[in-house]
Structure 1
Amino acid sequence: MWWILVAVAAALGYWLLTRPHKYWLKKGVKQGNPAFIFGESWAKMTQKQSFPEMVEMVYNMHPNTRYLGFYQFLLPTLVLKDPDLIKQITVKDFDHFVDHQPFVPEDSDPLWSNNLLALTGKRWREMRATLSPAFTSRKMKYMFALISQSGEQFVNYFLKKNEDVITVEMKDSFTRFANDVIANTAFGVECDSLVDQKNEFFLMGKEATDFSSVWKNFKFFLYFLAPKLSELFKVKFFSEEVSNFFTNLIKTNIQSREKHGIVRPDMIHLLLEARKNRLKHEESHSIQDTGFATVEEDEFTKNAKKIERVMTDQDITSQALVFFFAGFETVSSLMSLMSYELALNPDVQDKLVQEVDETLGTCNGKITYEGLFGMKYMDMVVSETLRKWPNTVITDRICTKPYTIEAKHPDEKPLHLEKNTTIWIPTFAIHRDPEYYPEPERFDPERFNDENKANIKPYTYLPFGVGPRNCIGSRFALLETKILFFYILSHFRIVPVQKTPIPLVLCKKQFNLNAEKGFWLGLKRRCKI
């Protein structure tokens, strides 16, 4: 008799676990063939496919559709493919799709849940409106000298080496540079992570952004599959050690500045100004913007009401920490991929080196903010790197109130989205769609020359997201990338070496863009005449 009960229980369990995978079929939306429990995530979870490859696979499941359905494990997710529909949902009807998919339960880790990326609804609007004046072009010029200082420090480290070609694992080196920039500009701490390989700031940063540990991966699964359970047991995103380090660092830094009247051109100063409600949008048309990939601040957030309560030290720590969290990994990946493309495309590097030399001459041997952003070809190279290798592989939204996507094609019917429906915008796949970018695998900065960039279809180039909830730090990321490559190419050429992986194979163990065997390249000293 017992075996009948077991069979019934097994059948019921199977039905309950397969039922969610019929969600989109019942709504008349095309979908793939989701694997039991895992949905379309099976190949990624078994490390047979990288995350970007998974996104591209999902995008191509049903050609010639405006949208399609897939499943993150048991979670139904709608993938937007049509640029006009992306604009409609992320811009025109943004008030229905204000929030990101929850990553960490709100009460589990206050240090995470209070940052701009994690905030929702009214709290996000207020914090975005409060912080956005800190990320304008004028404020980037304000921090230019600090970032330039880190760029010189980076290059001088390698200039001291007595080698004609220096073999470098670029990801590690660029991560150390990004660490020093963020330490200097966001936390008021000066360090040299290439010289002092185990400085505390770098080690804490690695710990905060390490996604390879078994425990960190277990927490991700718990957040995703059992959010109530992780909230009940207060499973924190950041370890106690990391939280205490950054909290104490910010607290003592603020106390020292306020006690001694210290003013420093960095992010803590701007956040303290925001706390006093002194930051305003002061864009000047005489100051050049940071490039084609820069996302503009939307009027929605420019005109939104700022937070009325006083920002606490924890609020400031949360914003500084997510600034670190975002910049530490994504910027170093962008730099690694740009260096890889320059090494494998020497004709592109030749043109960029020529522009570097011309700019250096124009600036009398010392790069300036205006000189850097007068470099058109530099901007083309960075823009094409972000096209081929967007740091934001996907961006997401949550339907915050019921919404209907009206039918546009004969094979469609109105699609009613319920509250809390998850939406994906598959940036990586859109950037690789030959309809928008012919020969998408080819690295071609000329796509972004003055003539061609005007023909790029709106909402098909989304390296820093889209709509009011785009990346607030796009200007900063572009600024530090351009500064560093200016200094590198002033003294070196980037070349392939024996350990350079050709072709590049993306790492299947991580969700970010990383090379399976590392970014091994050479820095070859330039022979200047």
Structure 2
Amino acid sequence: MFCVLIGLLLVTLLWFNYNIYNYWTKKGVNQKKKFILNDIMKIIFMKKSMAEHLLDSYNEFPNSRYNGTYQFFKPMLLVRNIDLIKQITVKDFDHFTDHFSFISEDVEPLWTSNLFALKGDKWRDMRATLSPAFTGSKMRAMFTLMSECAQEVAKYFENHPKERKSIELKDLFTRYTNDVIATCAFGVQCNSIKEKKNEFYLMGKLLTDFTGFWRNIQFLISMAMPKLSKVLGITFIDKRVHKFFRRIIKDTIKMRQDHNIVRPDMIHLLMEARKGRLNYEETSAVQETGFATVEESEIGKKTKKVKDPITDDTITAQALIFFFAGFESVATFMVLMGYELAVNPDIQERLQSEIDAVIEDNDGNITYDVINKMKYLDMVSSETLRKWPAAVATDRVCVKPYTIAPVLPDENPVTLNVGDIISLPAFGIHRDPKFYPNPEKFDPERFNDENKVNINSHMYMPFGSGPRNCIGSRFALLEAKVVFLYLLAKFNIVVTEKSEVPLKLSKKGFNFTAKNGFWFGLELRK
């Protein structure tokens, strides 16, 4: 009897495997043979980092424009040809307007109501509503708030010489990003360097923690079996986080309305949008905050009356995704920039020369315009995002039937059905020697005035591509540049005995994380 049951289980697995993992083969698309149990074990026990898994998939068929792969049990077409990426994300955007969503609105309304998760017209309306919050004029207003946070970081380590001998950079920069988001998005002032266990920071850690065996199991169930996830009540965000942010938003809005308080932050901008007072303002230069800044599409520039009312929960959802992205992803960008500067002291020294000259020329008065004119700082930032893109990959979901016409001799027309997922592998493209010679080398000269004109926008996608790109690219770049300016003006970032060089990526989580942490020192400049 036992043998019969085992046999039936194996037959069921093989049948399931054939039907799930031959999706692309049936469409005439190259794909690697897969077995369901092998993939589940990889996900649960994480034998490689997510970035390494993506790179493996990207390199499986180097001569193909695309190849079939799978996200858990979901078929996904990995597109590696930059012309086809442009076709899908820009020219034929109406066929691919949405991101893949694995969370039910019934279970997680705050997550499914944010800009990243919204679909169709709801996304278009919210993008048009929020885009004015990220124009150059709004960044100019938020710059002062960022500068105050960055100067606090530099001042703290200047006054605590023992602590700067060995610093875990991820801890340092998540505390800085926490304080910046708290003040710029929520109107709350924190000093997470001094107050290590402030509630805002602890909630940020809770919100962005996706490590651990059980967390991987929960994520697997949510991705592969969303209906079961709903029955089990598995949530993407901890209920304590929901409660905390709802309370913060509600109290802040009430206080501002009662006392007529105006502050240049996201809550104020969303309150203005609720009243229909927020309009997109054109800026004089699209890339005024750097090469990596993405341009807002016409969708974001249109002034639209949102069909659904902007409630307190709507505001909370947008502030929460802003916090989610800014706390972890932007901090990771800063960590890796710090790592590259420490292991490339010649690059760090050249950047410090630019910083010293700018401070001297402006009598120490660093303004929004001053920092955005710093060419080498922008080159270093751009190269960091090339080697370590903020998102290793992004996705699009087919919302209308679409056919990819054959171009190469061995291609057939590929018909995509509604619900099919497209993967845009930024990490693979950024590490492809066809686009970037010697891609493992950290070389800011790729982005000097002479070379950057040769970089196609779809071979450089640290903030995504097309109308659905990252709305906060200006904010993220400015936030990083400000803290490095103030830190490098006073300190050298140096390798210590505890530093892990070369970097070994952790197999836990979804962002770039060091296996044993990013331990470096801050050495006071003479």
Same fold (TM over 0.5): yes
**Cα drift, residue 6 of structure 1:** 5.8
Aligned to 1:285: 284
Q: What secondary structure is seen at the aligned counterpart in 2 of 1:62?
A: coil
Aligned to 1:26: 26
CA contact (8 A) 1:34 1:71 kept: no
Q: Could you tell me which amino acid in structure 1 is paired with residue 378 of structure 2?
A: D
Q: Please give the TM-score of this superposition, normalised by the length of structure 1.
A: 0.96
Range moving further from structure 2, 482-491 or 510-519: 510-519
Range moving further from structure 2, 25-34 or 283-292: 283-292
CA distance in 1, matches of 2:2, 2:480: 66
Aligned to 1:416: 415
Aligned to 1:251: 250
What CA deviation, in whole Å up to 9, does each residue of 1:474-502 have, x standing for no partner? 11000110000000011001111111101
CA contact (8 A) 1:116 1:127 kept: yes
Q: What secondary structure is seen at the aligned counterpart in 2 of 1:451?
A: coil
**Cα 1:152–1:2, aligned 2, differ >3 Å: closer, same or farther?**
closer
**Cα 1:17–1:197, aligned 2, differ >3 Å: closer, same or farther?**
same
Q: Could you tell me which amino acid in structure 2 is paired with residue 246 of structure 1?
A: F
Give the root-mean-square deviation of aligned CA atoms. 1.7
What CA deviation, in whole Å up to 9, does each residue of 1:204-238 have, x standing for no partner? 11111111244433321221121112224443222
**Cα drift, residue 42 of structure 1:** 5.1
Indicate the percent of aligned positions where both proteins have the same amino acid. Answer: 52
Aligned to 2:149: 150
CA distance in 2, matches of 1:360, 1:290: 18
Q: How is 1:109-258 mapped onto 2 (pairs within 5 angstroms)?
A: 109-163=108-162, 166-258=165-257
**Cα drift, residue 121 of structure 1:** 1.0
CA contact (8 A) 2:404 2:413 kept: yes
CA distance in 1, matches of 2:270, 2:372: 26
**Cα 1:13–1:354, aligned 2, differ >3 Å: closer, same or farther?**
closer
| Structure 1 position 11 matched with structure 2 position 31 | no
CA distance in 1, matches of 2:182, 2:93: 34
Aligned to 1:502: 501
**Cα drift, residue 122 of structure 1:** 1.1
Q: Please give the TM-score of this superposition, normalised by the length of structure 2.
A: 0.97
Range moving further from structure 2, 100-109 or 445-454: 100-109
Q: Could you tell me which amino acid in structure 1 is paired with residue 182 of structure 2?
A: A
Range moving further from structure 2, 246-255 or 281-290: 281-290
Q: Could you tell me which amino acid in structure 1 is paired with residue 17 of structure 2?
A: L
What CA deviation, in whole Å up to 9, does each residue of 1:83-121 have, x standing for no partner? 000000011101111111113112211111111111111
**Cα 1:206–1:66, aligned 2, differ >3 Å: closer, same or farther?**
same
**Cα drift, residue 14 of structure 1:** 2.4
| Structure 1 position 395 matched with structure 2 position 405 | no
Q: How is 1:450-469 mapped onto 2 (pairs within 5 angstroms)?
A: 450-469=449-468
Q: What secondary structure is seen at the aligned counterpart in 1 of 2:48?
A: coil
Where structure 2 has 5 or more consecutive residues not aligned to the other structure, the ranges are none
Q: Could you tell me which amino acid in structure 1 is paired with residue 343 of structure 2?
A: L
**Cα 1:219–1:46, aligned 2, differ >3 Å: closer, same or farther?**
closer
CA contact (8 A) 2:74 2:224 kept: no
Q: Could you tell me which amino acid in structure 2 is paired with residue 374 of structure 1?
A: K
Aligned to 2:306: 307
What CA deviation, in whole Å up to 9, does each residue of 1:236-284 have, x standing for no partner? 2222211111101110000000000001111111111111121111123
Aligned to 1:65: 64
Q: What secondary structure is seen at the aligned counterpart in 2 of 1:499?
A: coil
CA contact (8 A) 1:137 1:288 kept: no
What CA deviation, in whole Å up to 9, does each residue of 1:328-368 have, x standing for no partner? 00011011100010011111111100100111112211211
Q: Could you tell me which amino acid in structure 2 is paired with residue 15 of structure 1?
A: W
CA distance in 2, matches of 1:2, 1:176: 55
CA distance in 2, matches of 1:398, 1:287: 28
Range moving further from structure 2, 162-171 or 114-123: 162-171
CA distance in 2, matches of 1:198, 1:404: 53
